[in-house]
Amino acid sequence: MKLVHTASELNLLVAEAKAEGKRVAFVPTMGALHEGHLRLVDLALEQADFAVVSIFVNPLQFGEGEDFDRYPRTLEADCEALEARNCDVVFAPSAAEVYPPDGTPGKATERAGIIGATFEGAARPGHFDGMLTVVGRLLQLVDPDVAIFGQKDAQQVFMVRKLIGAKFKDVELVVAPTVREQSGLALSSRNRYLTPSQRETAVVISKALRAVDFAAKHGLPASFCIEAGNTLFAGEPEAKLEYLAVVDPQLFKPVTDKFKGEALVIVAAEVGGVRLIDNQTIEIREQDA
């Protein structure tokens, strides 16, 4: 495995791989890697012959008062974990490499649109513009054949799919399922901020998703399904629910009670000052007669 910090080093390695006929996979991360990230690398090597993982904490997707400075930076440990998973290249650029010429991000060059201002976008104004800008820039730098993203950030995946379809048509997008702890809590770099008791509290997030899924399988309309999830949060006052919604996965807009078919439950909640997100695909069925 090679660790590189510049676009020129990266370009040389990717060009050599492609000259050898290798298919290149790319996994973008902000580091502080956990098993969920490492599963993305496993999937990358199932999909391709050469895996590139980027580690870059992108200032452009953090809003005022968010945890950019606090966000964990663990490059040495990350590299050790990636080498054990047979990653080929770790690209850990400076801001100057990503945002030339002086490393100042400036304004976002990609726009998430109306959907980018809802849910996560409403809670974190400008977040998706910044995320799409850095994803676009990294895709330009890596020039992969396939890009691997995790399903846990469902709205991000929705946005990235639109970006790739519009500007990177030669890149295949592969989405990996969310990796969870035995308790059901989705793996997240921010989980390390939780105390043991807060981690137990945070399990209500996945429990609420399962409650929504259970209601949907019994033919209840979307609003009743959501209420089933809300009831779980009502019994866990230490978990502050921000939103719990059922959306059409093709539009990322809330469904009505007339909706039937595959839908996506999305949730955000704060536990101990740590903001966590999760989601689950459900099937809203016709109610049994």
Nearest CA to 29 among 73, 95, 88? 73
CB burial of residue 114 (10 Å; 0-12, 13-18, 19+): exposed
26: burial class by Cβ within 10 Å (0-12, 13-18, 19+)? buried
Phi-psi sector, 31: left (phi>0), alpha (psi -120 to 50), beta = left
The Cα 93–Cα 207 span in angstroms is 38
Q: Is 34 a catalytic residue?
A: no
Q: Decide if 151 contacts 176 (C-beta within 8 A).
A: yes
Considering only CA atoms, which of 108, 192, 141 is closest in space to residue 26?
141
Strands 253-254 and 239-248: antiparallel
Catalytic residue (choose from 5, 34, 37, 218):
37
Give catalytic residue positions.
37
